[in-house]
Each structure stands twice: as structure tokens, then as C-alpha cells.
Amino acid sequence: MPSPAGITELRKSTHAIPDATVARLPIYHRVLTSLLESGVESVSSHELAEVCGVNSAKLRKDLSHLGSYGTRGVGYRVEYLLFQIAREIGYAQDWPVVIVGVGNLGNALAGYAGSADRGFRIVGLIDSDADLVGQTIAGVEVRDLVELETVIAEHSASIGVIATPASAAQAVCDRLVASGVTSILNFAPSVLTVPQGVDVRKVDLGTELQILAFHQQQRAEGLRTGKTSKRTSPSPALENIS
């Protein structure tokens, strides 16, 4: 996907679900939840794929990695499939998450992951700004940076989010790892170095914009040379006509 790629060491311990599939499961989950709320009881791979913006064969193959939860000639029972996906991605686990850096971005994240019960619980908001420390955001009190290790230990958090300026990212990362965090979501525009066994995913707003700008530029050049581009809905990338 597009997309950002996480370094994943160690896998295959269970039944090896491809990374590309894992990246799509949350989308299926969200759409299925929406369908369930709409009272839909059964759905075919074509219908579901349409709404999720993917190929129906891809969707079926993705689901087949979890098991055979469909019924031939009928489709998938929404509630059952939803349950199976939720179980697979650890939806019900309520993972404790610590967010470091409570600027606008950290704030947005706190509200996002904290409000809807998405399987996460914000157990720590941490910032070095004395004006922020002590405030309560999304029901959680902001703690000082020096308490980072304490907060993590208190809740046995294993997932950390870095929403600090780039200059602080590596230092924060090191402290997270030293405290036992093994999964990190990094929003700072910097490359993090971590020991083996730690999973880092990077989301870079600037990079995303620049990728769009690149495609936009290609399109402009394409117009100049008389090329047209066609593309349907989701998924990035431009067209390459032979």
C-alpha cells in the first residue's frame, strides 16, 4: 500500500498471514462494522470488495488466510466474519498505548484512538512542555517527560507513539525501547534506529504530500506530451500505458 512499510522481524510463528493482507484487515473490519450497524446480515465478496475499494479475488484470498468463514453460493455472514477478523487483529485486547508529544498531532491521536473503542486504550500522554503537563486530554492527564518510564511500567504498555519534533524522536524512541515498548508508531520525520525485535511503522505527512505532488507533476508532464491517465478509486500510483 501503498504505503509505509514496517520492518517486521519474526513471523511465521503461527500461520503466516502476509503483511499486505494484515494491512487490509482493519479496513474490512471497519466496513463490516458499518454493515452490521446497517442491519446487513450477509455479504458477498463482490459487494464487500466494492465498498472496501479492492479486487474481489484479493478480498477472498485475504479472508482465506484466516480460515474458511464463507459459504459458497451465499457469501459471508457479517457478524461472524467480523468476529473472526476482530480476533485475528487483537481487536478485543484493548492494547495500552502511550503517546509521547502532545502537540496538535498527539492531540488528534489521543482523541482518535481514545474515543471510539478501536481496541486501544490511551494510558499515557507525555510531553516536556510544562504548560501542558497536568492538563487532561481525552480523559487522560498529561505527564512530564521524565515520567515516561514510570507511565509505561504502570500500564505495561508495549505500543508507543512518537508525535514529537524530529529532533527529539530518536531519544524518545530509545527510552521507549529501554522501557519495554516493542511496537512504535513514528510520526516524526526522522529515521529511527531500533534494536532487532522492535517493530517500527512510520507515518510521514510531508512524504505523503510529496508523493502526491510527484504524481501531480507527472500528470502535468503527461498532458504536455499528450498522454492520458486512467485510474479508478483507491490505491495510489499512476497509469503506465504501453
Partner DNA sequence: GAACGCTTGTGAACGATCGCACAAAGTCTG
Partner DNA sequence: CAGACTTTGTGCGATCGTTCACAAGCGTTC
Residues forming contacts to DNA in the complex (CB under 7 A) are 1, 5, 18-21, 43-46, 54-58, 60-61, 63-64, 68-76, 239-240
Q: How far is the CB of 160 from DNA (least distance, A)?
A: 24
66, 113, 133, 162: residue in contact with a copy of itself (rule CB under 8 A)? 113
Stretch that binds a copy of itself, among 35-43, 66-74, 103-111, 142-150 (CB under 8 A): 103-111
Nearer to a copy of itself, 3 or 71 (CB): 3
Q: Please report whether residue 7 would count as binding a copy of itself according to CB under 8 A.
A: yes
Give which of DNA, a copy of itself, none residue 135 binds (C-beta under 5 to 8 Å, depending on kind).
none
Q: Please report whether residue 57 would count as binding a copy of itself according to CB under 8 A.
A: no
Query: Within positions 159 to 178, which residues make up the interface with a copy of itself, using CB under 8 A?
Result: 159, 161
Give which of DNA, a copy of itself, none residue 196 binds (C-beta under 5 to 8 Å, depending on kind).
a copy of itself
Rounded Cα distance between 131 and 136, Å, is 12
Q: Please report whether residue 27 would count as binding a copy of itself according to CB under 8 A.
A: yes
Instruction: Locate 38 and state its grid cell.
Output: 446497517
Q: How far is the CB of 41 from a copy of itself (least distance, A)?
A: 21
Stretch that binds a copy of itself, among 60-68, 69-77, 106-114, 145-153 (CB under 8 A): 106-114
Give which of DNA, a copy of itself, none residue 68 binds (C-beta under 5 to 8 Å, depending on kind).
DNA
